[in-house]
Structure 1
Amino acid sequence: MKKSLIFALALSAVLFSCGGKTDSHEGHDMDHATGQESETPATTASENKATTAIIDSYLAVKDALVADDQAATASKSAALVTALKEFDASAGTEELKSLQQEASSSAEKLASEVLAAQRENFQALSVTLTEFLKITGTDRTLYQQHCPMYNQNTGGIWLSASEEIKNPLFGSKMLTCGRVQETLVSL
C-alpha cells in the first residue's frame, strides 16, 4: 500500500511538472526541405464570429486557385467582396478600416480573367487579410503558409484552414511548395 502511494505521488509530481502538456503539433511545422519539425510562432486572435463569412469566402477563393480554376475564382470572389464590405468596422481603429478597404480592393481584382493576375491579387489580399484578422479575430485556427519561390523567389503567403500545403499561388505547377509560417488561433 505504501509503495502504491509513493508511486502515485511520484507520478503526480511528474505530470504536474509537465504542466499537463500533450504532444501536439500546434506551433510547429515541417520544413519540407529538411524534413525537420520546427517551431512556428502562434498568434492568438480573439474569436470573432463576424469574420466567418469573410474567412469562408476567402478559403473558397483559395481552393479555386489551388484547382487552377480561373472562372470559379472570379465567381467566388464576389461573395468575398460582399463579406468584406458588409463587415462593420465602424467601432474599429483607422488601421482596421484601412485594411478593410485595401482587402476589398484586392478582392474586387480577383474577378480578372487572367489566372496569373488573380494569383497576384490573392497574394496581396492574403497579406492584408492576415493583418485584418489579427485585429478582428478569427472563428477558427488558420495557418499562414509561405512559399519562398513565389514572385521570382521573393515569396508569398496565404491562409489555410489546414496545415497541409496546397499552394494557391502556383496551383498544380507547385502544389506542395510551402510551409506553415504562423498560426492564427481563435480563443
Structure 2
Amino acid sequence: MIVAMMLFTFMTACSSDQQEAAKETEEMGMADGMEGMGEMEGMDMAQQGNEAAAVNTEGEPAFVKAYMDIKNALVNDNYEQVKQAASDLQEGLESSKLSEGQRSQLMESAGQLAEAQDIMAQRQAFAQLSRQLYQAMKDMKVTDKPLYWQHCPMALDGQGANWLSFEEQVRNPFMGQKMPGCGSVEETI
C-alpha cells in the first residue's frame, strides 16, 4: 500500500517523460526479474544515461555560461564541476552589466556554492542563486535566447525549487541522475 502511494505521488509530481520512461522500461522487459527491488528503483534505472549535454552558450555573458555549467553539473551529480563553475560565475559577475546590488547578491550565492561541503548543500545554494538570477533576468535583458523558468515540486525534500535553462526539455539539477526529467516549464522569459 505504501509503495503504491509513493508510486502515485511520484507519477503525479513528475513530468510525463518519467511515465513514458517507466512504460518503455516495462515494455522492453527490463522490469522482469526486478521484483523485490521496488517500483521506484526500476524507474531510476530507466533514467540512467540522461546526463545534461552542453548547450551552445556562445555570445552569452560569462556569468550566464557559468550558471548553465552549474545547472548541468548538478544534473550530472558532479560536485567538483559545480565548485569550478561557481568560481567561474564569480569571475563572470565582476564584469557583468548587472547592478551593484544584483552582482553582490549573486556573488554571495556563488560563494556559498563554491564552499558547499556536499552536493545537497550545493543544491540548496543553487535554489537561492536561481531565484536571484531569475529576478535579474526579468529586470534586465541579458540574453536574446529564450530562457525557461522550470520547477520541480519534489526538489529539496518536497519544498520545491526552480531553475533557469536554455533548454525547454527538463533536466532537473535538484534530482540529478535519480530523476533528471522531473519537473515542468513554468514560464518563458
Cα offset for 1:83? 1.0
Aligned to 1:102: 105
More helix per residue? 2
Aligned to 1:171: 176
- For the 8 Å contact 1:51–1:136, the answer to whether it is kept is no
Distance in 1 (CA, whole Å) between partners of 2:173 and 2:80 is 14
Matching of residues 109-124 of structure 1 within 5 Å = 109-111=112-114, 112-124=116-128
Within the alignment, does 1:72 sit opposite 2:76 as a pair?
A: no
Distance in 1 (CA, whole Å) between partners of 2:62 and 2:140 is 13
- Alignment partner for residue 15 of structure 2, among 32, 36, 61? 32
Distance in 1 (CA, whole Å) between partners of 2:61 and 2:175 is 26
Aligned to 1:84: 93
Identity over aligned residues, as a percent? 32
Distance in 2 (CA, whole Å) between partners of 1:76 and 1:65 is 11
- For the 8 Å contact 2:76–2:176, the answer to whether it is kept is yes
- For the 8 Å contact 2:61–2:96, the answer to whether it is kept is no
- For the 8 Å contact 2:150–2:165, the answer to whether it is kept is yes
SS in 2 for 1:63: helix
Instruction: Sort the Cα spacing of 1:52 and 1:152 in 2 relative to 1 into closer, same or farther, 3 A.
Output: same
Q: TM-score, normalised by structure 2?
A: 0.65
Cα offset for 1:120? 0.6
Matching of residues 19-58 of structure 1 within 5 Å = 32=15, 52-58=61-67
| Structure 1: segments with no counterpart, 5+ residues | 1-30, 36-48, 90-95
Aligned residues: CA RMSD = 2.3
Q: TM-score, normalised by structure 1?
A: 0.66
Aligned to 2:146: 141
Q: How many matched pairs? A: 135
Distance in 1 (CA, whole Å) between partners of 2:123 and 2:169 is 19
Cα offset for 1:108? 1.1
Instruction: Sort the Cα spacing of 1:83 and 1:132 in 2 relative to 1 into closer, same or farther, 3 A.
Output: same
SS in 2 for 1:172: helix
State the structure with bigger RCO (CA 8 A, min sep 6), 1 or 2.
1
- For the 8 Å contact 1:71–1:113, the answer to whether it is kept is no
Q: Once the two structures are superposed, what CA deviation does each residue of 1:73-92 show, in whole Å capped at 9, x if it has no partner?
A: 10111111111122244xxx
SS in 2 for 1:87: coil
Q: Once the two structures are superposed, what CA deviation does each residue of 1:91-116 show, in whole Å capped at 9, x if it has no partner?
A: xxxxx432321111111111123111
Distance in 1 (CA, whole Å) between partners of 2:59 and 2:165 is 18
- For the 8 Å contact 2:17–2:181, the answer to whether it is kept is no
